[in-house]
Chain A
Amino acid sequence: MKPIAIVKPVLFAAAAAPAVALAWNAYTGDLTANPVDYITDQTGSWALACLIVSLGVTPFRRLTGWNDVIKVRRMLGLFAFFYATLHMLTWVTLVSFFDVPTMIEDVTMRPFITVGMATFLILLVLAITSNRASIRRLGRRWQTLHRLVYLAGLGGVIHFWWLVKADTTEPQRWAVALAALLGFRAWWTWRTRTLSR
């Protein structure tokens, strides 16, 4: 049996675990004294984590030569979209209580929410066009469209950085990881172009 047949389900379970843990904590009433903030923080963090890891798949593939690993990229991207959706829905329902004027004000007047909403919309478009039918229909344009995932990664990090009060340790770590991954991509592209001359 090929290793990817084990790796993919294991990775699925790992990516789903935070959601299961959150549901369990909700059931046992263990969501800290401020459950709404806790749920918002957790779903946001895991969305960003899945996104950054999904951005690491191709560099990992290129460094190891293990082509099969590409099969987990879409799954991780969709998990990022899953957590981002929960995060956004938490904001709509539990933070804003469907109060449309307040939500409009938040999205237009709070820069970190503007960036967050834009990032969510990018992930939405990417999720909708993630199936094979879309890849076939869009052809070369699919590749161009899905380069937006880099922008989503950047948006996620900025959204996080701009909402923390003073402790930028976590957003900084994600920023470094993102920079490393994007840097690797840029280097690889330069390298491929130079070597093929």
Chain B
Amino acid sequence: MLIGKPPDIRYSEITPKSLYLRRREFLRGAAVAAAGTAAALTAPGLVGEAEAQYAAPGKLPKITNFRKSLLSTSEKPNSYEELTTYNNFYEFGTGKEDPAARAPRTLKPRPWKISIEGHVAKPGVLDVDEFIKGYTLEERIYRLRCVEAWSAVVPWIGIPLAEVIRRVEPTSQAKYVEFVTLLDPVQMPGQRGRVLQWPYVEGLRMDEARNPLTILAVGMYGEQLTAQNGAPIRLVVPWKYGFKSGKSLAKIRFVDAEPRTAWNISAPQEYGFYANVNPDVDHPRWSQARERRLGEFLPRRTVVFNGYGDQVAGLYAGMDLRRNY
């Protein structure tokens, strides 16, 4: 339910519906044009478009073969430093700077197996690089809103989950998709404690999983994901609170019942399955009406569905979002 407060995103940012419906056509046309331009521009001595944009990333392997998306916001991304040093990844400690300090030391993102399981015609276990190779990578610059009321803009690189789902052919029994993070207390020392139930499990309804916004991210800022950001592959669901976007995925399971998710198990009255960003549904202990964008001092008003209402509000038509928090 949209309450009449003006959204924080500019109307010029919202993809016009006609364009949105024709996005695949547009992208194909743009890709052809870009390929032609890139071919012309990447003559020796000239920098490719993707590289020029990310001036000072980290030291991980670069990703350059991605195309842009209309679903990206035009808001400026937060700095690489901000995004890689302020993380909630309790598998490495509960302090914001713990994951950056610890994860790169113990997490080994390669070799990595990703398993597709459950009610699908084509299950399987694949090496993550083999898995990724089969897909076209897209840049998705998305807003991220944490349930703790801070937010950021992240330039992800990933693959649409809808495309993955299409290829694995879920059966009619597949009603939900479950995302299971790695369970390995050696690589993830925080799993020796019990602040959450391990492995970290998240889930989406099939239609949420198929939404064009939902991606499996494999990179950020023009390079592979850092350990603290959820290497080698993670979920990104930008219209929900950040805890829904599970990191370092080991399994993607197609199930028939709503999964019990990590934060819901930890505090059922505080963290629901849907966890849609909603300024009108407060956390029991704090307000969700405002948020602090990393790097900014002034708080902002939170927008329902994190400003992605045009793309996802229809999924929840008729649902009481207060009860289904």
A interface residues with partner B (beta carbon < 8 Å): 32-37, 94-95, 97, 102, 105-106, 109-112, 162-163, 165-167, 169
Q: At the interface, yes or no: B11 with Cβ under 8 Å from chain A? A: no
9 smallest CB-CB distances across A and B, nearest first, come from A33-B86, A33-B82, A167-B94, A33-B294, A167-B195, A166-B266, A166-B195, A34-B150, A34-B294
Q: Are A166 and B294 in contact (CB under 8 A)?
A: no
Q: At the interface, yes or no: B280 with Cβ under 8 Å from chain A? A: no
B interface residues with partner A (beta carbon < 8 Å): 78, 81-83, 85-86, 90, 94, 96-97, 147-148, 150, 152, 195-196, 263, 266-267, 285-287, 290, 292, 294-295, 297-299
How many Å from the CB of A110 to the closest CB on chain B? 6
Contacts of A162 in B (CB 8 A): 285
Q: Are A166 and B295 in contact (CB under 8 A)?
A: no
Q: Are A110 and B297 in contact (CB under 8 A)?
A: no
Q: Are A33 and B292 in contact (CB under 8 A)?
A: no
Q: How far is the CA of A162 from the CA of B195 in the complex (A)?
A: 15
Residue of A nearest to B148 (CB): A165
Q: List 17 contacting pairs A-B, 8 Å CB cutoff, sorted by A.
A: A32-B86, A33-B78, A33-B82, A33-B85, A34-B86, A34-B96, A34-B292, A36-B297, A94-B297, A97-B298, A102-B290, A105-B287, A110-B285, A112-B285, A165-B148, A166-B196, A167-B195
Q: How far is the CA of A106 from the CA of B282 in the complex (A)?
A: 12
How many Å from the CB of B201 to the closest CB on chain A? 15
Contacts of A37 in B (CB 8 A): 150, 292
Q: Are B299 and A97 in contact (CB under 8 A)?
A: yes
Q: How far is the CA of A94 from the CA of B299 in the complex (A)?
A: 9
Contacts of B96 in A (CB 8 A): 32-34
Given contacts A166-B195, A166-B196, A167-B195, contact A110 B286 (CB under 8 A): yes
Contacts of A97 in B (CB 8 A): 298-299
How many Å from the CB of A29 to the closest CB on chain B? 11
How many Å from the CB of A89 to the closest CB on chain B? 15
Q: How far is the CA of A34 from the CA of B297 in the complex (A)?
A: 9
Contacts of B287 in A (CB 8 A): 105-106, 109-110
Q: Are B285 and A163 in contact (CB under 8 A)?
A: yes
Residue of B nearest to A38 (CB): B96
Contacts of B295 in A (CB 8 A): 33
Given contacts A106-B287, A162-B285, contact A32 B297 (CB under 8 A): no
Q: Specify which of A36, A37, A162, A166 lies most central, judged by the most chain B CB atoms within 10 Å of its CB.
A: A166
Q: How far is the CA of A115 from the CA of B206 in the complex (A)?
A: 43
Contacts of A111 in B (CB 8 A): 285
Q: How far is the CA of A34 from the CA of B150 in the complex (A)?
A: 8
Q: Are A166 and B285 in contact (CB under 8 A)?
A: no
Q: How far is the CA of A166 from the CA of B283 in the complex (A)?
A: 14
Q: Are A167 and B85 in contact (CB under 8 A)?
A: no
Q: Are B150 and A95 in contact (CB under 8 A)?
A: no
Q: How far is the CA of A62 from the CA of B196 in the complex (A)?
A: 42
How many Å from the CB of B99 to the closest CB on chain A? 12
Contacts of B82 in A (CB 8 A): 33
How many Å from the CB of B138 to the closest CB on chain A? 26
Contacts of A110 in B (CB 8 A): 285-287
How many Å from the CB of A111 to the closest CB on chain B? 7
How many Å from the CB of B162 to the closest CB on chain A? 31
Contacts of B266 in A (CB 8 A): 166
Residue of A nearest to B93 (CB): A167
Contacts of B150 in A (CB 8 A): 34, 37
Contacts of A106 in B (CB 8 A): 287
Contacts of A109 in B (CB 8 A): 287
Q: How far is the CA of A111 from the CA of B286 in the complex (A)?
A: 9
Contacts of A105 in B (CB 8 A): 287
Residue of A nearest to B83 (CB): A33
Q: Specify which of A32, A94, A97, A102 lies most central, judged by the most chain B CB atoms within 10 Å of its CB.
A: A32
Q: How far is the CA of A163 from the CA of B294 in the complex (A)?
A: 20
Q: Are B292 and A36 in contact (CB under 8 A)?
A: yes
How many Å from the CB of A25 to the closest CB on chain B? 13
5 more contacts with CB within 8 A, not counting A105-B287, A169-B195, are: A33-B294, A97-B298, A165-B147, A166-B266, A167-B94
Contacts of B290 in A (CB 8 A): 102
How many Å from the CB of B270 to the closest CB on chain A? 8
Given contacts A33-B82, A110-B286, contact A166 B292 (CB under 8 A): no
How many Å from the CB of B93 to the closest CB on chain A? 9
Q: How far is the CA of A167 from the CA of B196 in the complex (A)?
A: 9
Residue of A nearest to B299 (CB): A97
Q: How far is the CA of A94 from the CA of B297 in the complex (A)?
A: 7
Q: How far is the CA of A34 from the CA of B87 in the complex (A)?
A: 11
Q: How far is the CA of A165 from the CA of B147 in the complex (A)?
A: 10
Contacts of B297 in A (CB 8 A): 35-36, 94
